[in-house]
Structure 1
């Protein structure tokens, strides 16, 4: 700037208006270029900060959802086992006079009343959504999964809650009053398995279980979302 002032002073002393105007115009251009370069450097620096933050967030997401997916596997197997037990019961419930069918019903009826809630870690996703940092994630597909994750999880947990409430409010009190928890093959339990009221309860219970298993699978299911979030958060471009 001292150099610029000296040049301006010399041109003014010489009373060279044309040269002064040319110089002034050139100085303006230089200043504008300097401002643009400064803005470019600032933009580059902000982008670098955003990418570093994005990378850190994706690492946290990957770690959280990898753990969530691992913790979900035994829950998934238990829910599928509960559904399969119900299928076996209903294949044999009208053939209780046959020893093999009766044994299958008694062996699997108890496993119909599972109820397995799942509570994954959601801290990173909730923070992304509440702070607006979700916009730092450049992958559109990953953003879609993260935004929809809460709805998918709620869809699953609502079905589980309905199932658990039906057990605790309907089936369990009925068994306490009419059955025998201590002896699965007792005469009371055999009588319940021919009772239309209790059978209707089992039918509803199996329906709720099908909803639970359905909400776990498919492209809109809980497991698919977790797998995709793990996959998409693994490879982070610079």
Structure 2
């Protein structure tokens, strides 16, 4: 009878360990999915930042030339420089496993790395990115500069409907206006700071993803 009880306990323990391992694998797969989603998102951001950089360079080249440009060309390049960029981190997989106990991850090194990455590294990057947006993306000042460069006019389309479009207030001197130089400088500073920290964050995500994949491959 005692032997039977011991065998039953051993079987229960084995079943519990197996269930714990299955749960751990499921959670690691969730974290893997979140990290892969972050990398896809970062690729999209990098493309938008590249558009901003190209717009900045095109405008700077135009300011250095004596060539005259049409309103539509000026607006197209200006809008390219003004491409919007945002920043978010997908913490879904980590938060899910954290809610049931991060100790479910049996690999001590991986567990510590995930805690360090999500609780310290990612939070630091989020704060820095927030400061970049707050310090450089000054909406009121940017709007003031924008309004000094552009006017809105109403045009009638071929279908008899109307549309508001932007036109330079001063096409002749548009490229030499100090307001344009200030707008370019704001976007240039933004791209420089943003690109540096995006690259840092991307390396962190890739390192973390490699560690998670290695653990899953060892199972």
Please, what TM-score do these two structures have when normalized by structure 1?
0.64
Q: Secondary structure at the match of 2:176?
A: coil
- The equivalent of 2:157 in structure 1 is none
Offset of residue 43 of structure 1: 7.2
Alignment of 1:2-151 (within 5 A): 47-93=17-63, 95-99=64-68, 107-129=76-98, 132-133=101-102, 136=105, 138=107, 140=109, 142-143=113-114, 144-147=116-119, 148-151=121-124
Structure 2 contact 31–94 (Cα < 8 Å) conserved: yes
Structure 2 CA distance for partners of 1:83 and 1:129, relative to 1, 3 Å: farther
Give me the TM-score of the superposition, normalised by structure 2: 0.68
Alpha carbons 1:69, 1:223 under 8 Å: kept = yes
Question: Of Structure 1 and Structure 2, which has the larger fraction of its residues in helix?
Answer: 1
Q: Distance in 2 between matches of 1:192 and 1:171?
A: 16
Indicate how the Cα distance of structure 1 residues 38 and 153 shifts in structure 2: closer, same or farther if over 3 A, else same: farther
Q: Deviations over 1:96-150 (max 9, x none)?
A: 42348x9986642221112221334322223444554166252625424333223
Equivalent-residue separation in structure 1 for 2:88 and 2:14 (angstroms): 40
Stretches of structure 1 lacking an aligned partner (at least 5 in a row): 3-33
C-alpha displacement at 1:58, in angstroms? 0.3
Query: Does the 8 Å CA contact 2:53/2:191 hold for their aligned counterparts?
Result: yes
Report the equivalent of 1:175: 146
Q: Does 1 or 2 have the higher relative contact order (CA < 8 Å, sep 6+)?
A: 2
Name the larger-Rg structure: 1
Q: d(CA) in 2 for partners of 1:140 and 1:225?
A: 16
Structure 2's unaligned 5+ residue stretches are 153-164
Cα 1:45/1:146, change in 2 over 3 Å: farther
Larger mean CA deviation between 115-124 and 40-49 belongs to: 40-49
Q: Which has the higher strand share?
A: 2
Q: How many residues align?
A: 199
